[in-house]
Amino acid sequence: MLSQQTIVGVIGSGAMGSGIAQVAATAGHQVFVYDNNLTALEKAKIILTSSLAKLLEKQKISLEQQNKISANITFISALNGLANCNLIIEAIVENLDVKKSVFSELEKIVREDCILASNTSSLSITSIAASCKNAERVMGIHFFNPATIMPLVEIIPGIASNADLITNSKKLVDSWGKVTVIAKDTPGFIVNRVARPFYSEALRIYEEGIADMVTIDWAMKEIGGFKMGPFELMDLIGHDVNYVVTETVWKQFYYDPKFKPALSQKRLLEAGFLGRKTQRGFYNYAPGAIMPEAQKNKELGERIFKRILIMLINEAADTLYLKIASAEDIDLAMTKGVNYPKGLLKWADELGIQNVIKELTDLKDFYEEDRYRISPILKQNFWSQKSFY
């Protein structure tokens, strides 16, 4: 049984791994952070010290708490330093072969009752678990970046995962002050699946020449109430991450056209224009660069917002229809994981299912593409005059 005395291991000392370690240490756990890159470990120590100093300065923690959190975290460069952990969360590169290799090695080192979890955002938990002799103890515990701030954590059982371990892990992460949702082991889980149209439909609108990037971003913020527009957000996440997740989900869903990546984003990745981190992506972030102005046409903006929203709702509905997660967890995931103004299924009820179906039918009739097929649950709800809530 996981408890306050649970010793937590984190593999990977990058931004995500360090963030998860800080969360667990703040909750009072002894935490071991492993990385075979000594430079990365030293950088992680500096970042942790800086992060805690800022929290102290803002009076969010006391000096005593700062010292205690620091004392709770030990940075190690030998994998066998994780031998006594009760829970280990892997947060390394999104590469299935690399993750499987790490889990296989881990199993030789850790105790028999140690839970092994991956922080993967889009790879199969079942496939990772297959590298272990005891696949029952493997699961997904997916934090969102930055882990210290974002409240959502997706808990993902693999096909072989022990149900009691899932329940215990969920309770433990809840005790860390996080909001947890349970998702079936399918590509992208909840958030990275349901959010795809926020990017892909915006890219489609841009590639068709209906509106430029800044106008699409303006429409989603000003009219839709989203905190960031899709192009701003892709640049912030980085195209080496955002595009790769899109491509991974598309491939894992057997090249389903509704997840098809956009060439305009692929070209940025090929050019090395990764977004803010390289000072150039869809926008230019170089010193002195002038940001373009949006075409603030309300009618156009409404059209853009409605089209993207309808596609998001359709994907949320399909996620429910395929029993990936409950309606409550889907809406919770999108509001807490990516800060959407409201839950998409709740939004569908407000708009009216018949209006959602009409918009999707218009898109499908115009484009004649399977990309715009209507989720069966929308049709079922319309025929039976049911709402999601």
Both 121 and 249 in one domain: the answer is: no
Whether 3 is in a domain gets the answer no
Both 72 and 207 in one domain: the answer is: no
Look up residue 317 and give its amino acid: A
Whether 123 is in a domain gets the answer yes
Both 227 and 355 in one domain: the answer is: yes
Whether 388 is in a domain gets the answer no
Both 149 and 239 in one domain: the answer is: no
**Tens digits of per-residue pLDDT, 251-308?**
999 999 999 999 999 999 999 999 999 999 999 999 999 999 999 999 999 999 999 9
Both 262 and 137 in one domain: the answer is: no
Q: Is the pLDDT of residue 2 over 90?
A: no
Q: Which of 130, 152, 182 is the last residue of a domain?
A: 182
Domain of 150: which CATH number? 3.40.50.720
Whether 283 is in a domain gets the answer yes
Of 154, 201, 315, 359, the active-site residue reads: 154
**Tens digits of per-residue pLDDT, 145-162?**
899 999 999 999 999 999
Both 226 and 107 in one domain: the answer is: no
Classify residue 221 by its DSSP letter.
Answer: I
First-last CA distance in the chain:
35
Give the C-alpha distances (Å, rounded to integers) separating 347 from 37, 123, 204, 324, 352.
46, 29, 23, 19, 8
> What is the C-alpha to C-alpha distance for residues 107 and 212, in angstroms, rounded to an integer?
51
Q: How many structural domains are present in the chain?
A: 2
How many C-beta atoms lie closer than 10 Å to residue 191's C-beta?
Answer: 22
Mean pLDDT of the 306-324 span: 98
Q: Is the pLDDT of residue 81 over 90?
A: yes
Mean pLDDT of the 157-177 span: 96
Q: Which of 117, 152, 182 is the last residue of a domain?
A: 182
Whether 75 is in a domain gets the answer yes
pLDDT on residue 91: 96
Give the C-alpha distances (Å, rounded to integers) separating 59 from 5, 63, 66, 221.
27, 9, 11, 32
> What is the C-alpha to C-alpha distance for residues 122 and 241, in angstroms, rounded to an integer?
11
Residue with tokens 């470990």: 41
Q: Is the pLDDT of residue 313 over 70?
A: yes
Q: pLDDT-based confidence at 385, cuts 50/70/90?
A: very high
Both 257 and 154 in one domain: the answer is: no
Strand order in the sheet with 115-118: 73-76, 31-34, 8-11, 87-90, 115-118, 138-143, 152-157, 179-182
Q: Which of 157, 182, 207 is the last residue of a domain?
A: 182
Global pTM?
0.93
Domain of 352: which CATH number? 1.10.1040.50
Q: Is the pLDDT of residue 1 over 70?
A: no
Of 86, 119, 131, 192, the active-site residue reads: 192
How many C-beta atoms lie closer than 10 Å to residue 149's C-beta?
Answer: 9
Both 19 and 89 in one domain: the answer is: yes
Active site residue 142: yes
Helix 230-237, helix 239-252: angle, nearest 10:
100
Instruction: Give residues with Cβ within 8 angstroms of 265, minimum separation 6.
Output: 199, 203, 234, 239, 242, 243, 246
Both 16 and 122 in one domain: the answer is: yes
Mean pLDDT of the 224-231 span: 98
pLDDT on residue 5: 84
Query: 50 lies in which domain range?
Result: 8-182
Whether 187 is in a domain gets the answer no
Of 90, 122, 142, 242, the active-site residue reads: 142
Both 254 and 320 in one domain: the answer is: yes
Residue 253's SS3 state is coil
Whether 263 is in a domain gets the answer yes
Active site residue 154: yes
Instruction: Give residues with Cβ within 8 angstroms of 168, minimum separation 6.
Output: 1, 2
Torsion sign, CA atoms 348, 350, 352, 356: negative
Whether 78 is in a domain gets the answer yes
> What is the C-alpha to C-alpha distance for residues 106 and 116, in angstroms, rounded to an integer?
8
Burial 308-342 (b: 16+ CB within 10 A, else e): bbbbbbbbbbbbbeeebbebebbbbbbbbbbebee
The mean predicted confidence, pLDDT, of the chain is: 96
Of 72, 86, 121, 161, the active-site residue reads: 121
Active site residue 121: yes
Both 246 and 173 in one domain: the answer is: no
**Tens digits of per-residue pLDDT, 26-46?**
999 999 999 999 999 999 999
Both 148 and 246 in one domain: the answer is: no
